[in-house]
Amino acid sequence: MSKIWYFAEGKVGAGFTEFLTLENPDTINGCAVNIEYLLGMGGPVNVSVDVAPATRYTESVNADLNTPASDGNYQTDSAVVTVNSSLSPNCTGIVAERPMYFTNFVGVSSGSDVLGATKTSTSFYFADVPTGGGYASFLTILNPGTTSANVTATFVVHGVAVNTLTLTVTGGTRGTIIPNNGGTLMHAAVTVTSDQPVVVERPSYFSNINGGNAHTVSGASSVVGVSTLKNNWLFAEGYTGGSFQEYFVLANFGPSAVSANVMLEFSNGHTETVTETIAPSDQTFIDVNSIVANHLGTCDTTPCQPTQDVSAAISSGSNFIAEREMFFHYDHVGNGRTLLATGGTDVIGQGTPVSSYSFAEGYTNLGYDEWLTLQNPTAAGETVTLKIVNEDGRSFSQSYSLLAHSRFTIDITALILQNLIVPNDTFKGYEVSLTTQAGSGALFMAERPMYWNTGSNGTQGGSDVIGYSGA
């Protein structure tokens, strides 16, 4: 757990609804929490909340900033969430996420979610910042310090720095770098540097783009930049069935080409590996659907035995960054209901597996589906225990066995409907946080994809985050 969380992106009003979801996994000690909103315009706003032991807490940013979604005006915001150690000295920390939903922004009504950052930095990397051709991307910057930050964003395409944008962000405020989102589609790998410690996030909105196997899609996604390039990246989630399209975007910011091995790990314990080359100062797109359908890689058995659900371990002898973009027309029948949704998700991988993960956000009421995907990237079988807590303080636990080099999927919606909902329950029963813990010495990966559709006048889409692990 962490005692401080940073969120660079945020917006309320003009159709935007923003929440902060907080998980306190401690079964004994409550946590006094301060939320400081640093605004695009105006001075900071501070709000104090108490998060009870072993529970999930939801805070309305719109209410805190007195700006309902229906307001014609809007406010951009960043947030710093801090445990008040004076009021709650025994609180060891919390987990914080920021789900956002919006209607009719650049013609799209969807949403996104991110796990907050726990550290500031002077450099951030993004494998992909798409602009134009139906995309609108932004770089949002939180400067929590007292000194103005001079920020530079460098956009690289095919070895050439095609654009450099600068912005000065006053201390204690939120700033936004706005690329040229008009014109033809451009995918760029981007480095953001600052002379003061900041946090940088990249929200993207897309309208009627070509989603490959997902066909034409609209939606949104957001990712927090990483401050360190690595030679290994892991992804628990991935799906190539139905009307889903999965891509990996690998970016190389160095002067020499990078050779990366992409190992796909399927739910049946089999694998398929392809080798990809990333040119200097460039990005490479990998079509996972094509690899799986056409057996383009080297499999661990003959004939290849892929499954539609797939995790991935991407490694190299050199440092790079790996991001996974998925587009979908989600169609799920189960748990006594049907959910149809279109959109996309985007996550940057994690460098190493760890023994536990926590997720603050989760919702399973009608119109929402929540899943948990687990990856065992090791050569030995593992056991992972899942614990779910809701906003009413009720909990449920269950253990699962994971094959070596495999992917495993848990229907969180089904578990909550069967084990946590009671007669006459309110929406709080459906608001949940998750924790996952492996057995002694075991290491794994965990992601939580969600899909939703709130009706013709509402929003639809998907979000996905890797859980908090401290890694």
- What does each C-alpha distance from 15 to 74, 103, 137 come to in angstroms? 8, 5, 18
What pLDDT sits at residue 441? 87
**Which domains, from first to last, does the chain contain?**
4-113 (2.60.290.11), 121-224 (2.60.290.11), 230-466 (2.60.290.11)
DSSP SS3 for 221: strand
At residue 438, the pLDDT reads 96
- Within 8 A by CB and 6+ apart from 307, the residues are 266, 267, 268, 270, 407
pTM of the predicted model over 0.75: yes
Question: Residue 375's pLDDT is what?
Answer: 98
Q: Beta strands 55-60 and 74-83: pairing type?
A: unpaired
Distance CA 58, CA 96 (A): 10
Q: What is the mean pLDDT of each run of 10 residues along the chain (471 residues)?
A: 97 98 95 97 95 95 97 96 97 97 95 98 98 97 98 97 96 96 96 98 98 98 98 98 98 97 98 98 98 96 96 98 98 96 98 97 97 97 96 94 97 97 93 95 96 95 96 70
265 touches 313 (CB < 8 A): yes
